[in-house]
Amino acid sequence: MRDMSAYKPSRRELLTLLAASPFAPRLLGAETDYTAWYREAKFGMFIHWGPYSVASVEASWPIMRPSKEFPITEEQYRALPQQFNPTKFDADAFVALAKAAGQKYMVFTTKHHDGFCMFDSAYTDYKITNTPYKKDIVGRLAEACQRAGMPLGFYYSPPDMNHAAFRDTSKPASENWNGEPTRSVWPLYLDYMELQLRELLTRYGDVVLIWFDGLYNQRKFDGERMHRAIRALQAQTLINNRIGIPGDFETPEQFLPAAIPVKGKKLDWENRDTGTKANYIPTADEFRLWETCMTINNTWAYNKNDQAFKSSRQLIHTLVEVASRGGNFLLNVGPQPDGIIQAEFQERLRAIGKWMERNNASIYGTTYGPVQGAKGFRTTAKGRDVFVHVFDWPGTELNVSAENLPKFGSASMLEGGQPLEFKQQDGRMTIKLPSEAPDPDATVIRLQG
């Protein structure tokens, strides 16, 4: 690991570094919204990786909620780091894969609920540098992201099954996995959290976001204190909504909000409703930033027994659907214990990337579209342009309700630019189309103002 603390860049180097940073606009004074890069990014890679990958079991939950699905004892689970040796891990390959998929940021599990640290924390022995692999994986990934100009964020679990101040570790985790904040040692756990956040925010360069996964009763983690600690070190770091205070964005997990999210409504496993009418179009000020995280199969961790892969077409549609409601799509991979990302994930990510190469203008930098809840297509918007993503090809004519639409000057295929005839009258827009879908995954039509 490079020692970042001893490094003092010259002014020229600083400007060069700044230009490569997602924070550049803000730091250079041209842009005041520190969420701007994130709003534009739209698509990210989530990575769940730890010694749990050795056993093809879900991350942490097998000891918190033992189940027949993942038959492993807590003792066996806790011994997994002794076998964790991902000799084929290549951080640059992870970043290259994300780029090939069209993903604009990455979020890595620095510590999951099990408490195992994928970085060389000074405050625990339960960490990557004490495995046969020995190397700081968070450090390797941070360096690769810096080389490639890829924004990197850190997932950090407040719940920590390994820490004796979080819970009485002489009991099985299944009995007290939600933590024991009434014990006198609890403040020591909050100190530990803050110290680790400081490590993460001072050693690894720019941290574009912190993704807390606070589970239940999140107020016990003193979110205000953790926010202060983060902001004092990196003022531009975004913080999600899972540490008891709203933070910068909502995080629907494995689902899409049915309508465009608005401020003041927390979305989580139990509360999936946005509180608005279906198809409601909020003002820019009402809109609440959000990100759906999702697995490609049904497991966050690597699981050789889980073959229920979503198709690339399905994933492209989900990306479009998320973008059509103004959100970001954080799509997860669980790397294998040898350090390779499995072929099934790579195939799908590269297929999404191929579609993005042709159509990314309808995704990056867009926001929610003016037509919501339509049958067979989804819209996004950028400036005066509207993009219509057709999922179910209608034949030679597409009908769009034009209630919320301005008068357009032209319509064309986004890919190839072929002009399309259209009519706008009586609250309807009709666009003439070829009889067959040019793109079997989703064809994009660009309407220009």
CB of 339 to ligand H79, least distance (A): 20
Cβ distance to ligand H79 smaller for residue 62 or 151: 62
* Closest-approach residue to ligand H79 (CB): 61
CB of 250 to ligand H79, least distance (A): 13
Whether residue 40 contacts residue 365, with contact meaning beta carbons closer than 8 Å, is answered with: yes
CB of 377 to ligand H79, least distance (A): 30
CB of 120 to ligand H79, least distance (A): 22
CB of 7 to ligand H79, least distance (A): 33
Cβ distance to ligand H79 smaller for residue 61 or 116: 61
CB of 123 to ligand H79, least distance (A): 22
Cβ distance to ligand H79 smaller for residue 213 or 306: 213
Cβ distance to ligand H79 smaller for residue 126 or 212: 212
CB of 352 to ligand H79, least distance (A): 20
Cβ distance to ligand H79 smaller for residue 2 or 65: 65
Cβ distance to ligand H79 smaller for residue 204 or 300: 300
Cβ distance to ligand H79 smaller for residue 295 or 443: 295
Residue ranges in contact with ligand H79 by CB under 6 A = 59, 61, 65, 213, 215, 253, 269, 293, 300
